[in-house]
Amino acid sequence: MDNPRFKIKKTELLSDNWYTLNKVTIDYQKKDNTWAIQEREVYDRGNGAAILLYNTLKGTVILTRQFRLPTYLNGNKSGLLIEVCAGLLDEDNPEACIIRETEEETGYRLHSVKKIFEAYMSPGAVTEILHYFIAEYDSSMKVSSGGGLEHEHEEIEVIEIPFAQAYVMIETGEIKDAKTIMLLQYAKIHNLV
């Protein structure tokens, strides 16, 4: 916290039921050099990683489909969301996290991944920064059916589809997940598939 224009005055814990929700009060210096007070609720769920698995020879990508309660509460009639594989870092570094999550969710065992960028996903209220990766896959890397971890209540469907179809699904609204759209656009721009 190196910016002298922003001073945290108070942090109040509102909830630590699933992740942490705090109410933070700051003093901040405006452009006219006067000071004002601002209160914001900030949700801290930790940082995460996401990956696009692609197969250049087949022209396909691996995506997942799972129930996402927040989308269901905000108009997604089925609650199911098509996404790239992703997960929270927990105690891992981003690369170790995404290799672990890929095997748990998709059943593909990766030995190397390429980090392409990182981004804040909802900086107005959420602290999370997401690390974005890509990796090429083939059938020899499939070690299980994937589907997630039962003790985490995950029921993940693994989807292998042509890249062209996935890209059209952005236009039709079948893919509405930001991290997935960003990675599919990266793949298109860089002619990966």
Q: Which residue has the higher pLDDT, 100 or 2?
A: 100
Please compute Rg for the chain using Cα positions.
19
Asked whether residue 18 falls in the same domain as residue 89, the answer is no
Cβ–Cβ < 8 Å for 84, 91: no
Asked whether residue 121 falls in the same domain as residue 36, the answer is no
Give the CA-trace dihedral at 161, 167, 173, 177, to 10 degrees.
Answer: 80
What is the spatial distance between Cα 71 and Cα 63, in angstroms, rounded to a whole number?
Answer: 18
Residue 147: is its pLDDT beyond 90?
no
Query: Interior CA angle at 142 toward 106 and 86, to 5°?
Result: 25
Asked whether residue 56 falls in the same domain as residue 77, the answer is yes
> What pLDDT is recorded for position 153?
66
Q: Residue 19 sits in which domain range?
A: 6-44
Asked whether residue 139 falls in the same domain as residue 103, the answer is yes
Residue 178 lies in a domain: yes
> What pLDDT is recorded for position 136?
97
- Summarised one tens digit per residue, pLDDT across range 30-58 is 999 999 999 999 999 999 999 999 999 99
- Summarised one tens digit per residue, pLDDT across range 57-116 is 999 999 999 999 999 999 999 999 999 999 999 888 999 999 999 999 999 999 999 999
Residue 1 lies in a domain: no
Q: What is the mean pLDDT of the chain?
A: 94
The whole-number average pLDDT for the span 171-189 is 97
In CATH, what number is assigned to the domain containing residue 184?
3.90.79.10
